[in-house]
Structure 1
Amino acid sequence: MVSFDPLVAVTSPGAWEQEGRWREVPRLAADWLRGFDAVTVLAAHPDDETLGAGGTIASCVAAGVPVSVIVATVDEPERADELVAALSRLGVAAEPTLLGLTDGRLKHEADALRDALRAALPDDGTRRLVLAPWPGDRHGDHRTLGREAAEVCTTAGHTLRYYPIWLWQWGTPDDVPWSRAAEMELTPEARERKRSALASFPTQLHSAANPSGVLAAGFVERASAGREVLIEPQADPLAEHFERLHRASEDPWSVRTRWYERRKRALALASLPAERYGRALELGCSNGELSAGLAERCDSVLGLDASASAVELASRRTSDLPAVRIERMRVPGEWPGGTFDLVVVSELAYYLAADQWAATIERIGASLAPGGAVLLCHWSGNADDFAQTGAEAHELFAARSGLRRLVAHVEDAFRMEVYG
């Protein structure tokens, strides 16, 4: 699901074009494309590839670079037909590969998606450029496909670039990762091919006759005439996501002020069976509010977060608490040494895909001291940046941790458990 109105643009096409930072963005020409033996374009849905990279696809064809297209979901046969027509207008002769996964549920089918991408993008010595939706596009399917593409391309040694789609609708110039952006130089022919291809998706074009369409006329016009941007991946897109949130606000989720958050924090501390713990580990400490609370019950607290801004905020919040140490670390790939008497995972697990969460569970088990406890607390709702639900994360922990549930507290809004 998306968390914005696809028919309403936050920034007008004119305002996008007038942004001064475009002057610093490098431009990519056909010679750059000719440096690759093949180009594979990944799309979460039919029309993503045309909206975000149609001009680049047409430029590849003109440069003589073979193009293949892989689409993760196709919810209606008509959309598959529209896709074939659009690709034909872009000059792509090869039939697209349709993975047959479920629209809106890619994060729940990440294993199948990853297996399909590994099969389609092997490490075979081909100098391959892979284009995938930008994970920052505020669409859960785009986030999942972008994340899985990064993992597969890193392993196989392919060059990956992201193309934004919905950024132009929900975003502002401050949301663009300018230091990693480049603009494709599109010829008039490439633009005309893209414009023609976009007209191949009548089921998606919003009009009085088709009010269910999600592509507004102004959005399609910007896609046709506006800049086409490719974004170089960051080493850790999830860390980038949290960094953006903590740069924008010292309290992104209002944990200091909302009664819901303050009450939940008090319940979490009250749920801990022991009066006092030795060494505690908090995963995803954000701005350090829970870290400060844990310091009242623990001899020492190590708070971890992948965001540098979050680490700075948490360090500032706990500066007068010598028992608390905050470090920048991205779990499960990075993990602190030693054992812990208490591990706290609050509002974090649903940002991890099932395989990442499974690896984290193994890490927790290996570092838990005898007699130690694990506190889990997660919101019961869902959001476009979640890789799984809180309920799924708790169920996986119960199934894989080998620990016994000591405390269970379930409300409509959240679920809190202690294992030991």
Structure 2
Amino acid sequence: MVTFDPLVTETSLAEWEAAERWADVPVADATWLAGFDAVTVLAAHPDDETLGVGGLLALCAGMGLPVDVVVATVDSPGRADELSTALERLGLDAAPASLGRGDGRLKHESDDLRRGLEAAIPGDGGARRLVLAPWPGDRHGDHRTLGREAAAVCGMRGHTLRFYPIWLWQWGTPDDLPWGRVSQVASTPEARRRKRAALAAFTSQLHSPHNPSGVLSAEFVERAAEGREVLIEPQRDPAREHFERLHRDSADPWSVRTRWYERRKRAMTVAALPSERYGRALEIGCSNGELSAALAERCDALVGVDAAASAVTLAAERAAALPNVRVHRMRVPDEWPSGDFDLVVVSEVAYYLAADQWEATVQRIVRSLRPGGHLLLCHWTGWADDFAQSGRQAHEHVATRSGLERIVEHVENDFRLEVFA
């Protein structure tokens, strides 16, 4: 939900326009847009697309560039009608699609949201598609979740993604804008006229004495109509780059092959498995494949996944002589292997997933487990600066939220090893 007062302005339009750094910001104009065959604009709520990139959409309409509009949430037929009117005023003739998710609940419905996006955003088969989505830094839970899931889908399909801010202009300051990844839309008088007319269509959201529940103040709407529109390039994933470097620089970055602590922990991990033999198993975060090789002795088939390409290369080399092991580059929970499993192993990985990402991962694990299947968790109990959560927190989440039963528990000063059924 919104964690700020939508009617309180932190930075005025004049203050935004006075920022000196605009002179260095590149321009996204008709020439840039002509490099795409189609555009898909994603909105968390009806009016986001108009507030954020209404002028850009009017430019696309004037160029004849096809535009699809996908709205994640619609809380009333009236707002859907307002959206249709606004899009007509922008010059767009495509009917907006709705994913039917709950307003303010996207972070709790991320799996359904992602499936909806996968169905709504065409694969294109080589066509050049530009996808526009709310900026995840917009301090609105729905914007943050939709932006993140859009990035996952676009990353898998190779689409160009740009974020657009909305509430940044209201609550933020120029220091909040990631200037190095920003471009500004080259507007025209006609595009501004169309955008202003489109904004007027959202009567249920416009704050006034007659509509005190409206969240769009007159000042905010004026800024949207007359102020700049910007696009923000997605930030490269620093965590993935970190692990890419680690595995590129060393075939054994954590000395799991040589340190007694790691070798003992690996032996205990395999020994803790309750079943003598498993059919199909999944290892999340296989790193250099050392644990994969040990698990392969107890499984008919093992799928290892890791987000770092360099790790996947190392794991594939380690498993080259093991015909029952397959390794794939995959980032969970946004990506997930097909099929179900008798065993899922998560070792030294959960710390790097934020709470909502870990929750989504656990949900996917539970749905992937066959009846009688096991989930094994093993994590260091210490803390590091790059952790999003502790190993203890990750294990406790599974114990209290997954619905699985803990059947093995081994705790030492340095690590925790548990099996859930």
**Same-fold call, TM cutoff 0.5:** yes
Alpha-carbon distance in 1 for matches of 2:397, 2:199 = 38
In structure 1, what residue type is equivalent to 2:81?
Answer: D
In the alignment, structure 1 residue 376 sits paired with structure 2 residue 392: yes
Secondary structure of residue in 2 paired with 1:376: helix
- Tell me, yes or no, if the aligned pair for 1:40 and 1:70 is still in contact at 8 Å: yes
| Gapped regions of structure 1 (runs ≥ 5) | 241-276, 280-330, 379-389, 408-416
Secondary structure of residue in 2 paired with 1:368: strand
Secondary structure of residue in 1 paired with 2:92: coil
Q: State which of 288, 298, 307 in structure 2 corresponds to 1:333.
A: 307
| Gapped regions of structure 2 (runs ≥ 5) | 242-259, 263-304, 316-344, 369-373, 380-389
- Equivalent residue number for residue 192 of structure 2: 191
Alpha-carbon distance in 1 for matches of 2:238, 2:143 = 12
- Equivalent residue number for residue 220 of structure 1: 221
Residues 276-308 of structure 1 deviation map (CA, whole Å, 9 limit, x = unaligned): x967xxxxxxxxxxxxxxxxxxxxxxxxxxxxx
Structure-2 change in CA distance of 1:127 and 1:86 (3 Å): same
In the alignment, structure 1 residue 57 sits paired with structure 2 residue 54: no
In structure 2, what residue type is equivalent to 1:81?
Answer: D
Superposed, 1:290-369 pairs within 5 Å as 333=307, 349-352=354-357, 354-357=359-362, 368=378
Alpha-carbon distance in 1 for matches of 2:170, 2:417 = 42
Superposed, 1:13-412 pairs within 5 Å as 13-124=13-124, 125-236=126-237, 333=307, 349-352=354-357, 354-357=359-362, 368=378, 375-377=391-393, 395-397=400-402, 399=404, 404=408
Residues 166-216 of structure 1 deviation map (CA, whole Å, 9 limit, x = unaligned): 111111111111111000000000011001100000110111111111111
Secondary structure of residue in 2 paired with 1:117: helix
How far residue 366 of structure 1 moved from its aligned partner, in angstroms, is 6.1
Kindly tell me the number of residue pairs found equivalent between the two proteins.
Answer: 308
Alpha-carbon distance in 1 for matches of 2:121, 2:215 = 31
How far residue 351 of structure 1 moved from its aligned partner, in angstroms, is 3.9
Structure-2 change in CA distance of 1:350 and 1:220 (3 Å): same
Residues 7-51 of structure 1 deviation map (CA, whole Å, 9 limit, x = unaligned): 111111111110111111001111111111111110010000000
Secondary structure of residue in 2 paired with 1:377: helix
- Equivalent residue number for residue 315 of structure 1: none
TM-score by length of 2: 0.64
Q: Cα RMSD (Å) of the superposition?
A: 3.7
Structure-2 change in CA distance of 1:394 and 1:135 (3 Å): farther
Q: State the percentage of identical aligned residues.
A: 57
Secondary structure of residue in 1 paired with 2:392: strand
- Equivalent residue number for residue 341 of structure 2: none
Q: Which has the larger radius of gyration?
A: 2
TM-score by length of 1: 0.65
Alpha-carbon distance in 2 for matches of 1:56, 1:170 = 23
Alpha-carbon distance in 1 for matches of 2:219, 2:156 = 39
Alpha-carbon distance in 1 for matches of 2:398, 2:46 = 30
- Tell me, yes or no, if the aligned pair for 1:375 and 1:419 is still in contact at 8 Å: no
How far residue 355 of structure 1 moved from its aligned partner, in angstroms, is 3.6
How far residue 356 of structure 1 moved from its aligned partner, in angstroms, is 3.7
- Tell me, yes or no, if the aligned pair for 2:133 and 2:161 is still in contact at 8 Å: yes
In structure 1, what residue type is equivalent to 2:3?
Answer: S
How far residue 141 of structure 1 moved from its aligned partner, in angstroms, is 0.8
How far residue 406 of structure 1 moved from its aligned partner, in angstroms, is 8.2
Structure-2 change in CA distance of 1:115 and 1:348 (3 Å): closer
- Equivalent residue number for residue 328 of structure 1: none
- Tell me, yes or no, if the aligned pair for 1:68 and 1:94 is still in contact at 8 Å: yes
Alpha-carbon distance in 2 for matches of 1:19, 1:57 = 25
Residues 297-324 of structure 1 deviation map (CA, whole Å, 9 limit, x = unaligned): xxxxxxxxxxxxxxxxxxxxxxxxxxxx
Alpha-carbon distance in 1 for matches of 2:402, 2:417 = 11
Alpha-carbon distance in 2 for matches of 1:202, 1:101 = 22
Structure-2 change in CA distance of 1:351 and 1:110 (3 Å): closer
Alpha-carbon distance in 2 for matches of 1:392, 1:103 = 25
In structure 2, what residue type is equivalent to 1:226?
Answer: G
- Equivalent residue number for residue 266 of structure 1: none
In structure 2, what residue type is equivalent to 1:352?
Answer: Q
How far residue 395 of structure 1 moved from its aligned partner, in angstroms, is 3.9
Secondary structure of residue in 1 paired with 2:116: helix
